[in-house]
Structure 1
Amino acid sequence: MITCIAIDDEPKALEVIERYCQKIESVSLRATFREPLKAIAFLNREKIDLIFLDINMPEINGMQLLQTLSPRPLIIFTTAYSQYAVESYELNAVDYLLKPATFERFLMAINKAGAALATKNTPVTNDDAAVFIKSGPQTYRVKIGEILYLEKNGNYITVHLKDGNILIRENMSDIFDLLPAPDFIRVHKSYVVGIRHISMIEVHQLIVNGEKIPVGSTYRESLRDRLGIG
């Protein structure tokens, strides 16, 4: 069962979320809030798995609210504005729903949350799982377990593998979407790392396969929450 709450200053938006949640047996909507500060007070008392979080709200917006939470539940952002999509993925949101979201799209987001919750702190161990990555005229089949980290440099991203690298021209958010969320985490605006390959973590950096990877200040809390570090 996925326990969740919804935070949105629009009553109709909350009604839609409530109606959709009632259709899904595996989801328990514990409460809805129009006032973000009341939601924060609730979260300080209760532990839940998932928050449906609007971005544009009075008093404090969704991005700011997220920064106040420790530990952070899974987040699905809900908004009428598409310009926040990149920032939401940088904050490791499970999904980003544009209003008005259809039930089918809502269900897809719930499935993502369920998968992330089921494997939280436990990366996938299926070494045969793979993704296809296009580099110029060639397309490579790459095993998930072979991907050490992604490094963005200008308009290009280097996919660092155990036995080589692949250079692609792609947005970080787009290539991040190709990867299974339980196995990877964004730790810097220019780096996404494979969780299973992290060998050491410090405040400002971590080590992957002997390489030092910077940890951005906006990603530190979510990294510690994801890995269960107190």
Structure 2
Amino acid sequence: MQKNFAPLQGLGLTAIAIDDEPRALEVVQIHAAKVPFLELKATFTDAFEAIPYLQQNKIDLVFLDIKMPDISGIEFVHILQKTPMIIFTTAYSEYAVNGFELDAIDYLMKPFSLARFTKACNKALEIKGLRNEETPSFIFLKTGYEEEKVLLDEILYIEAEGNYMAYILPNKKLLSRQNINEVLSQLPHNQFIRIHRSYIVALNKIQKITRQSVWVAGNEISVGASYEEKLSVIRMSIGL
């Protein structure tokens, strides 16, 4: 079990791993020791032994094998009263669909590299941040020579328009001379997410998610190809 826990900016992940193969658990331990924001608290070869541990300890994330002798990983998730974030680890690709139907964070095919493992952990860390971050309720937006108070809960989405950013509200549009990175720096990350080089959307205003777009206030907004992985983050953070 790794000991060096160095969370980034006060945010980190506690985790356990469950797998009936000791060698597979050893791989998770080796990888986890190299991820600075991840603390692997315990490992289990018997899934049933992990249940009381999860009941008694606050755990953010479980690395969970799917095909185990006494209970499958999918069955294990179903019997938990309170489910942490799950990353499935397995050598059997046919279980992937069932895994994602349970809103798993990710699905790691054995043998997986440190880079792939870290990518899955980064996704879990981002979801935890979206759920837990404390946020203000408004911003002041410079529009021309004035600064207007804008309630964050009124913002539907934000769109780049040339040298300006258009803030789309229920009954009006506000233009501010900014670039998209400046907008992102002033918005709370647990309420807004960038899904395209030109679009930022309010998470709590998303009505529907399709394979390449999201719907906000009846408007379909495309998800950029380089942002498609954000869709799983959105689903986990808003429960769609």
Q: TM (normalized to structure 2)?
A: 0.61
Larger-Rg structure: 2
Q: 2:80 aligns with which of 58, 69, 73?
A: 69
Q: CA deviation at 1:116?
A: 1.1
- Structure 1: distance between partners of 2:103 and 2:219: 27
**Aligned-partner SS, 1:14:** helix
Aligned to 1:145: 202
Q: What is the alpha-carbon root mean square deviation over aligned residues? A: 3.0
- Structure 2: distance between partners of 1:95 and 1:151: 18
> In the alignment, is residue 8 of structure 1 matched against residue 60 of structure 2?
no
Q: Is the 8 A contact 1:56 1:62 kept in 2?
A: yes
Specify whether residues 119 and 100 from structure 1 end up closer, same or farther in structure 2 by C-alpha distance, changes over 3 A only.
same
Q: CA deviation at 1:124?
A: 3.0
Specify whether residues 20 and 166 from structure 1 end up closer, same or farther in structure 2 by C-alpha distance, changes over 3 A only.
closer
Aligned to 1:48: 59
Aligned to 2:136: none
Q: CA deviation at 1:151?
A: 6.5
Q: Is the 8 A contact 1:53 1:76 kept in 2?
A: yes
Q: Which structure 1 residue ranges, 5 or more long, are not aligned?
A: 133-140, 168-174, 186-193, 196-222
Q: For 2:123, give the aligned amino acid.
A: K
Cα deviation, 1:148-203, whole Å, max 9, x if unaligned, reads 33377xxx998533143479xxxxxxx9744261x334xxxxxxxx83xxxxxxxx
> In the alignment, is residue 37 of structure 1 matched against residue 102 of structure 2?
no
- Structure 2: distance between partners of 1:24 and 1:130: 26
Q: In the TM superposition, what are the counterparts of 1:45-124 in structure 2 within 5 Å? A: 45-120=56-131, 124=190
> In the alignment, is residue 161 of structure 1 matched against residue 226 of structure 2?
no
Q: Which structure 2 residue ranges, 5 or more long, are not aligned?
A: 1-11, 134-188
Aligned to 1:126: 192
Q: TM (normalized to structure 1)?
A: 0.63
Q: For 2:191, give the aligned amino acid.
A: T
Q: For 2:28, give the aligned amino acid.
A: I
- Structure 2: distance between partners of 1:126 and 1:158: 16
**Aligned-partner SS, 2:16:** strand
Q: For 1:184, give the aligned amino acid.
A: R
Q: Is the 8 A contact 1:36 1:65 kept in 2?
A: yes
Aligned to 2:32: 21
Aligned length: 170
Specify whether residues 18 and 145 from structure 1 end up closer, same or farther in structure 2 by C-alpha distance, changes over 3 A only.
same
Specify whether residues 166 and 2 from structure 1 end up closer, same or farther in structure 2 by C-alpha distance, changes over 3 A only.
closer
Q: Is the 8 A contact 1:54 1:79 kept in 2?
A: yes
Q: Is the 8 A contact 1:76 1:94 kept in 2?
A: yes
Cα deviation, 1:38-77, whole Å, max 9, x if unaligned, reads 1112212222111000000011110010111122111110
Percent identity between the two aligned chains: 38
Q: CA deviation at 1:131?
A: 3.0
Q: Is the 8 A contact 1:131 1:144 kept in 2?
A: no
Specify whether residues 165 and 113 from structure 1 end up closer, same or farther in structure 2 by C-alpha distance, changes over 3 A only.
closer
